[in-house]
A and B are shown apart, each in its own frame.
Chain A
Amino acid sequence: MTTPASGQPAEPAGAPSGAGGTATADPDVLRAEHISKRFGAVTALRDVNLHLARGEVLGLIGDNGAGKSTLLKILCGFQRPTTGRILLHGQEVTFKSVDHARSLGIDAVYQDLALINELTVFHNMYLNREHVRGPLLSNRSMRREARKHLDEMGIQIPSVDVAVAKLSGGQRQAIAVARSVYSDAKILLLDEPLAAMGVKEGAIILDLVQDLKRRGDVSVIIIAHNYGQVLEVCDRVNLVQHGEITLDKMSRDTSVQELTELVVAEYRKAMEARQHNA
Chain B
Amino acid sequence: MSETAERAPASGPPADPALAPGQPGARASSVGRIGIRLIQQRELTVFIVAVGLVIYFSSVSSSFFTRDDLVNISQIIAPLAIIACGEVFLLICGELDLSVGFVYGFAPFLMHYLIDFYSVPAIPAMILCLVFGLVFGYINGFITIALGVPSFITTLGTGLILLGFTLVTSNAYPALIPESAVGPGHWIGTYAWSMITWAIVLVIFFQIVLSRTRWGLHTVAVGGNILGASEAGIKVKRIKYGNFMITSTLGAFVGLQVAFQTNSIDPSSGGYQPMFYAIAAAVIGGTVLSGGSGTIVGAFLGACVLGIMQGGFTLIGISANPLGIIFGGAILIAMIVNVQFTRLRNAGRT
Contact residues of A with B, CB < 8 Å?
2, 78, 97-99, 102, 108, 110, 112-120, 122-123, 127-128, 130, 132, 135-137, 139-140, 142-143, 158-159, 161-163, 166
Contacts and interface: CB of A to CB of B under 8 A. Distances in A.
Interface residues of B, number: 36
Given A2-B233, A115-B225, 13 more contacts: A78-B230, A116-B221, A117-B224, A118-B221, A118-B223, A118-B224, A118-B293, A119-B220, A128-B218, A137-B217, A159-B29, A161-B27, A162-B35
Contact of B228 (A112, A136, A143): A112
Nearest to B227: A112
A108 B220 CA distance: 22
Nearest to B226: A116
Contact of A114 (B29, B213, B231): B231
Contacts of B221: 116, 118-119, 127
Interface string B223-247: 1110111111110000000000000
A171 to B, nearest CB: 13
Binding site of A, secondary structure by majority: helix, strand, loop or mixed? loop
Contacts of B13: 136
Contact of B25 (A116, A128, A139, A158): A139
B16 interface: yes
Contact of B234 (A78, A128, A142, A143): A128
A158 B224 contact: no
Nearest to B291: A118
B26 interface: yes
B15 interface: yes
B110 interface: no
Contacts of A136: 13, 208, 212-213
A123 B25 contact: yes
A120 B349 contact: no
Given A118-B293, A135-B213, A161 B29 contact: yes
A118 B30 CA distance: 19
A162 B28 CA distance: 11
Contacts of A142: 25
A216 to B, nearest CB: 27
B27 A143 contact: yes
Interface in B1-40: 13, 15-16, 19, 24-27, 29-32, 35
